[in-house]
Amino acid sequence: MTDAPTQRPSRAGLYAPFIIVLIALAAWTGWWFYLTRQIDAGLEAQSAALRQQGWDVRYADKRIVGWPFRANVKLTHVTIAAPSGHAISAPELNAEANAYQPTKWVVVAPEGLVLTRAGKGKVAVNGDAIRMSASGIDQRWPNLALELVNPIFTVHPDGEPFPIARAARIEFYSRPHLEGSTAPSDAIDVMFRLVDGQGRRDGPVEGFAQDGQLTTQLEATIGRADLLKVGDAAGVFSQWTQGGGTFRNLRGDLQAGDSRATLSSDVLKADANGRLTGQVALQSQKPLPALSGLLESRQGSVNRIGAAGAAAAAGAADAAGREDMALTLVFRDGRTWLGPFPLAPAPKLF
């Protein structure tokens, strides 16, 4: 009597996990290629739209890599120039996002940048890191962050002087301003931070910092941010100014050598010529060294007579044993005034 043949166990259960992985990998690969095609098409469409508005947008080569989990756009010999004459160029720009979170990007300039200032020439920017991040790019106001680590600024031979020679860090942040607790408005909150900045030789920043380092942090709300149009040949702040744009709730602090000050202003805006107008309240500590250093600077547009008067007033207070002084910085008629003393031209926004 012969035994019945024994049925072999099925091996389908052994192959099932591998099949599932292969299906998932194929699906994810399909998504990655779809996403990168969308990114490529969006980049080309945005470049074309800017060119129609008068921009010059050029790059020598473009590659999109990073499979499976990242989308990395690599551009070489990039130039982005606005109609106003301001421009940025870089030997290489890398923009990267996670494939599962394509609304958050990080842009890095590994070989530095060259900034073109309209009418003032070019300045090269190099450092340990130059990067910008943008999150929520599908929203009306994305969150932006710009960070420069140990930047060095070198003016090209035909360019006008740049106020800063180097710094430990320069940071800029922007986010939507919330009215109340949750409702976004037409305003954005911004913050600028300069850490251990060193002015150019014999320049006003070097004098103001008493040959030391300048550190400052400023925060403000930009009203009518919807009017910040980058395509205008007159500059980004031109239409914003004409439409009633303002800087609101300015707060900050400043340290220049031995001198310190806290700053506050309810409203600042620009006049028809693009010069800042309004006033800033200063609660200063030991202002005399900074004002004396500003007077001794041998380059720039500092009004030496006005600086001398302001330094004399601060010296009289210092002689009276008062290290703390309440001062008011006024921007009017295209000039910067400290009390009755004109110091320099008012900052120009466009």
Domain residue ranges in the chain: 20-274
Taking only the tens place, the pLDDT of each residue in 137-169 is 888 889 999 999 999 999 999 899 898 999 999
Q: Distance (Å, rounded) from C-alpha 133 to C-alpha 143?
A: 8
What pLDDT does residue 309 have? 45
| Rounded Cα distance, 28 and 69, in Å | 9
For residue 149, give the nearest of 86, 195, 207, 117 by alpha carbon.
Answer: 195
Rounded CA-CA distance 323/314 in Å is 9
> 51 CB contacts (<8 Å, ≥6 apart)?
57
Distance between CA atoms of 248 and 175, rounded to whole angstroms? 15
pLDDT for 320 beyond 50: no
d(CA 131, CA 206): 27
Listed range (112-121, 189-198, 258-267, 321-330) with the worst mean pLDDT: 321-330
Residue 200 three-state SS: coil
Per-residue pLDDT, averaged over 31-50, amounts to 94
Contact status, residue 70 vs residue 94, Cβ threshold 8 Å: no
For residues 104-123, average pLDDT: 94
- Which of 169-173, 241-245, 308-312, 342-346: highest mean pLDDT? 169-173
In this structure, what token pair is assigned to residue 87?
């421009």
Nearest Cα to Cα of residue 238 among 192, 271, 266: 271
Q: What are phi and psi of 148, to 5 degrees?
A: -120, 120
Residue 230, pLDDT score: 61
Helix (H) or strand (E) holding 184: strand 183-199
- Strands 324-332 and 276-285, by their bridges, are antiparallel
Q: Give the residue from 193, 180, 219, 207 showing the smallest Cα distance to 343.
A: 207
In this prediction, residues 179-207 reach a mean pLDDT of 79
From CA 221, how far away is CA 25, in angstroms rounded? 46
CA distance 281 to 275: 18
pLDDT score at 125: 98
